[in-house]
Amino acid sequence: MRVFSTFSGISAATAAWKDLGWTFAGYAEYEPTACAVLAARCGATRPKYLPTTDNDLMADEAWALAYRIDKDLPKGSRPNRLLNYLTPDMNPLSLRPGDIEKLRWSDDEKFAEMSEKERVSREKLIGRHRQTDYPVAGKTPNFGDLWYITDADLEELGEIDLLEGGSPCQAFSAAGTKAGLLDHRTAAMFGFIDLVERMKRINGLKWVLWENVKGVLNDDQNGFGYLLGRIAKTEGAPVVAPGGRYANAGYVSGPDGDVAWRLLDAQYFGKPNRRERVFALARVGAGAAGIDPREILFDEESEELRPQLRGRKGNTVAGIPGVRAEELVGYRGPIAFMAGQSAKARSAAASAAVVPTLRSQDSGTNRVPSIAYVMPAEDNDGTLDIGNIAAERLVVRKLLPLECERLMGFPEGWTAVDVNGAIMTDTARYKCIGNSMSVDVMRWVGQRLNQAVGRVNTASTRIPI
């Protein structure tokens, strides 16, 4: 299986699928520290394309996004956004991206705000690239920003069996902007869709695997519906979920592709790491005939991976069924916890059975989870003396980058790479790990797809007697 990875991050796909014998023809990632990991662990080059900070080109991106939003909206769903930006003498059917300077984007304060934030973010990104140095020895191309991947670039890749990626989730995430399709980063999903359609034509693409946060299932602007509709039918209209929310598992089929999706939680795949993510697997090419994506994602085999956790509710202490951590006096831990998302939250989610979802920052409201446990006094026989608690030492600390790597299924030290002549900082490592996918879930999907492809190939090569 030849794979092209987009929004690659530190490539959970490579860590998960290398043992399957799959090869990676290319990557697409432009975050500087993630690029350093790709170079060190995956043999990737420096990114070929970086996001633009040119106002006209960014306006073209905004135009493309607004046009896609408007042209496919069901009539009566909400006021037509595109028409709000036109002057009376403009015909929306004849406009080109270059006409963007004539549009009155300031009429939509939210859109203008998100565009300005994106421009500032990109300027900082370019600056960080100039300040980030790391060894590069490999030759596997890293294309960087997928918006600028050309047909010639794709032709050089040759045949590709599977395209994978998890487009930016900040606009859908509970910890993000919740701006949906108004966020420039969400527009990258349309770049991914365009890439699917071009790679079907140029590279003989057969499979697509897309991952994102649970919030895409109830996004007010139906970003997930665009993905489903365009994969099922080239240039197709978005799918509209009944009631405005998609089920945790589902399936759509069209003339150009079949898509199955399922909400999978990493804690049920071998590591005590709560991480709910939507995985959408699509069959898009004739070469994938004979395999239904539902047989890959919809299988109760995954239930067998959760015997220790099945039926456990609340903050239950591992090994003591029915007892909550706060009810067990003197419990020595460890207990993992995540503080509330804001100063007003005044809350903490705590569990001795599973670690809360790993975040990408070492401080603030999006911080990495912490753990608490008791270290016995040196002369203690190993039991906790409630009457002499002062002799014990309570330890409260953040999870270490190494522990985060283990929880996400990466080999130890995966992000401990050379950046500017030293090991990458903990802050950068937290960000890389927290923004990645669960290696264990990716491995499960890859193994099941590999088995299905093997069965079909074996059946097709049998010689009748």
Q: Residue 324: how many CB atoms within 10 A of its CB?
A: 16
- For the chain, list the domains and their CATH numbers: 2-54+116-305+438-461 (3.40.50.150), 325-434 (no CATH)
Q: Residue 1: how many CB atoms within 10 A of its CB?
A: 17
- Asked which of 10-19, 50-59, 215-224 is least confident by mean pLDDT, the reply is 50-59
In the predicted structure, residue 407 carries a pLDDT above the cut 50: yes
What long-range pairs does 372-376 form, CB within 8 A, spacing at least 24? Answer: 372/333, 372/334, 372/335, 372/337, 372/396, 373/332, 373/333, 373/334, 373/335, 374/332, 374/333, 376/332
Position 390 scores a pLDDT of: 56
Over the stretch 420-448, which tens digit does the pLDDT of each residue have? Answer: 999 999 999 999 999 999 999 999 999 99
Q: Residue by residue, what is the 3-state secondary structure of 212-279?
A: EEHHHHHCCCCHHHHHHHHHHCCCCCCCCCHHHCCCCEEEEEECCEEEEEEEEEHHHCCCCECCEEEE
State the pLDDT confidence band at 176, using cuts at 50, 70 and 90.
very low
Over the stretch 320-348, which tens digit does the pLDDT of each residue have? Answer: 333 344 444 444 567 887 765 555 555 56
State the pLDDT confidence band at 63, using cuts at 50, 70 and 90.
low
- Asked which of 83-92, 106-115, 332-341, 342-351 is least confident by mean pLDDT, the reply is 83-92
Peptide bond into 79 cis (omega under 30): no
Percent of the chain with pLDDT over 90: 44
In angstroms, the CA 165 to CA 73 distance is 26
Mean pLDDT of 202-227: 90
Q: How far apart are the first and last CA of the chain?
A: 30
In the predicted structure, residue 358 carries a pLDDT above the cut 80: yes
In the predicted structure, residue 178 carries a pLDDT above the cut 50: no
What long-range pairs does 68-71 form, CB within 8 A, spacing at least 24? Answer: 68/190, 68/226, 69/181, 69/221
Are 41 and 11 in contact, with CB atoms under 8 Å apart?
yes
What are the two backbone dihedrals, phi and then psi, of residue 257, each rounded to the nearest 5 degrees? 175, 160
State the pLDDT confidence band at 365, using cuts at 50, 70 and 90.
low
In the predicted structure, residue 352 carries a pLDDT above the cut 70: yes
Closest CA to 174 of 362, 341, 7: 341
In the predicted structure, residue 398 carries a pLDDT above the cut 60: yes
Position 112 scores a pLDDT of: 64
Over the stretch 264-304, which tens digit does the pLDDT of each residue have? Answer: 999 999 888 899 999 999 999 877 778 999 999 997 544 44
Mean pLDDT of 217-225: 82
The overall average pLDDT reported for the chain is 77
Mean pLDDT of 37-56: 90
In angstroms, the CA 223 to CA 172 distance is 9
Structure token pair of residue 433:
């790990």
